[in-house]
Structure 1
Amino acid sequence: MSSPPLSYSYDTNGFVIIPSDTPLSLVPPTQLIPFRDACERVITKTRTGEWTRRRTVGKQFPPYDNDNPDSWGVQHLMHPDLGEALFAEWYCSERVLSVVKALLGCEETDLEMELFNLLINPLSHDFALRWHRDDVRETASEEEEVDALGKWHTGVQWNTALYRDECLFVVPGSHIVPRTPEQRALSSTLDPPTNPLDMPGAIQVILQPGDTVFYNSNILHCATYSSQAKRATLHACMGDAVRGGAVRARNILQHDLKWMQDEAFRETLPNDTARGTLDRLKRLQSEQGGAQVVYSLAG
């Protein structure tokens, strides 16, 4: 019996894992070293202060505190000033876009460039993100939650691990149903979980090098960051510009993407497909006027 299509698992569970040893792998084993090398260069720039667009320990959502010396993420991997062409080539590659199109059920001409960051291990502090949905406040009523979950199907988020990654925890199926009273209690606090598996229904997502998990970012999820375990996980999202509109805007435009409007960035993109996804983002920026909100791509 053949396995169900990716979209079925994704729609049903809210996430789907693509192992590194399958034809759909986003980073086959032979490509791990170039990705690791590129990541090591940007991590070094971040930890030495040369690159200041980062996520700092102690802050789950932007704006981040640049006075904190420890980081858990690097922002804007495709920025021309980082000088790493590999990232834009990969983000806009057919290998990535084919999976995104399958999960969103859209055409290539619908796709919108969004965020591409890197999740890394802090050096001096263990850190954790609290249980959350990216675009639903923890204080939302059940009615508000149901309404929001019904609209959050026009974008997809993914983590591609370059080293073994045990950081992400999710509650399968929670992207389409409101929280139970116990889940609400554990996700209404601003404190990180002591034990993520105390959350009813939670599982730990374990990725081997080269594995990718695609997930609906309104699935109930949290993450833990160990200063002792090396982490370099590509962390990105992409949307359907035709159906997404303001729903996508309020989640991504808070991340200071004005630099993407610069012609210097456009010139670094590898092909017309990539430039098309950028044009759709720029159209969204123009239409929404830089909409802001308190939620964030985090994982």
Structure 2
Amino acid sequence: MSTPHLDALQRDGFVVVPNLLSPSEISHYRSIATKATTKTRSGGWPHFRTVPKQFPPWPTTPPPASEGGIWGVQHLMHPDMEDRQSFAKCYFSDSILKVVEELLGVKDAGPDEPLVMELFNLLVAPETKDFELRWHRDDIPETATAEEEVAQLAAKSPGGKQSHAQYNLALCPDASLIVVPGSHRRARTDAERNAEPYAPSLPNQLIVQLQPGDAVFYDSNILHRGVYKGKEEGGEETRLTLHGSFGLKAVGEGDDEKKKVRATAVLQHGVGAWVHREDASFGIGERPEKMRANLVAMGTGEGIGYSLQG
């Protein structure tokens, strides 16, 4: 079976998939994403990412626009999110699942669903000021030695096999993600290790350019950062990027430490607090419910901690 997306991901640590959404889908999702963002900025939705904090936990009240406000809206598929069924149709769409299945080596879902529903959030432009994320890998702390990095990278994707698929799906032109191609397979170089956390450039870095409807799937442990250009307070949204991930149920079975690492990466965002609710069913088919059940089986996330600090 041809696997061009997986080949690119394994080689480079990321792959851009163009035109995952049709023009009508882009228009629809941009509309409901704008509505969700406006509600969150005004304090009407309690789940968000706030400037200047990079990693969870985030504050419970959004900062004022003069301080940057929010840079993300969390839990688009939460039972209390107004357009959650539309967001769920996007998350579980055939076009996205086709790429996810290729990346995770799923040939036939069968009766025992191998995929795990994980996260579906929205990344947005802060107001009045720019905001930058520091260089990082999602699951490996910057304090890791070269030997620890190599060991952890190998453990998280043994033989190049992916344990989860993570992506950004743009609804507006997006050049926010910066990566160092190939860094998902090696320890940091001396230049990378000694660079300032917010260094504007690293050798061989690449700015991922997305047009509306394009997605980038990337290894979460590639060396990467985000640059968020601020927008005018109250002005049109200039960044609306859907940020999602799927896990692979089979990975880590019989290995409690691997299970804990992935559970922490997912449940630290608070999804375990609502995914088990009776009203959390999506009503859009059997597979989404099986994937949701696989997430419920991971636990609530209470006391599990956080992957990174800051």
Tell me the TM-score normalized by structure 1.
0.89
Note if contact 1:14-1:172 (Cα within 8 Å) is conserved in structure 2.
yes
Structure 2 residues without counterparts, runs of 5 or longer: 157-161, 232-236, 253-258
Letter in 2 for 1:39: A
| Number of aligned positions between the proteins | 282
Letter in 2 for 1:291: I
Aligned-partner SS, 1:81: coil
Q: CA deviation at 1:97?
A: 1.1
Give the whole-Å Cα distance in 2 for the aligned partners of 1:142 and 1:278.
37
- 2:76 pairs with 1:77: yes
Identity of aligned residues (%): 41
Give the whole-Å Cα distance in 2 for the aligned partners of 1:74 and 1:212.
18
- 2:277 pairs with 1:259: no
Note if contact 1:111-1:240 (Cα within 8 Å) is conserved in structure 2.
yes
1:60 is aligned to: 54
Note if contact 1:254-1:290 (Cα within 8 Å) is conserved in structure 2.
no
Letter in 2 for 1:112: V
Q: CA deviation at 1:93?
A: 1.9
1:236 is aligned to: 244
Map Cα deviations across residues 75-130 of structure 1 (whole Å, 9 max, x no partner). 00011211211111111122211110101112532100001000000112210000
Note if contact 1:57-1:125 (Cα within 8 Å) is conserved in structure 2.
no
Q: Which runs of 4+ in 1 moved over 3 A?
A: none
Matches within 5 A, 1:13-32: 13-20=12-19, 25=20, 27-32=21-26
Give the whole-Å Cα distance in 1 for the aligned partners of 2:193 and 2:278.
45
Structure 1 residues without counterparts, runs of 5 or longer: none
Give the whole-Å Cα distance in 1 for the aligned partners of 2:245 and 2:98.
14
Note if contact 1:151-1:247 (Cα within 8 Å) is conserved in structure 2.
no
RMSD (Å) for aligned C-alpha atoms: 1.9
Aligned-partner SS, 1:277: helix
Q: CA deviation at 1:192?
A: 2.6
Matches within 5 A, 1:156-235: 156-186=165-195, 189=196, 191-193=197-199, 195=200, 198-228=201-231, 230-235=238-243
Letter in 2 for 1:212: A
Note if contact 2:179-2:222 (Cα within 8 Å) is conserved in structure 1.
yes
Q: CA deviation at 1:261?
A: 1.1
Note if contact 2:153-2:185 (Cα within 8 Å) is conserved in structure 1.
yes
2:153 is aligned to: 149
Aligned-partner SS, 2:49: strand
Deviates more, 1:234-243 or 1:150-159: 150-159
Give the whole-Å Cα distance in 1 for the aligned partners of 2:58 and 2:304.
18
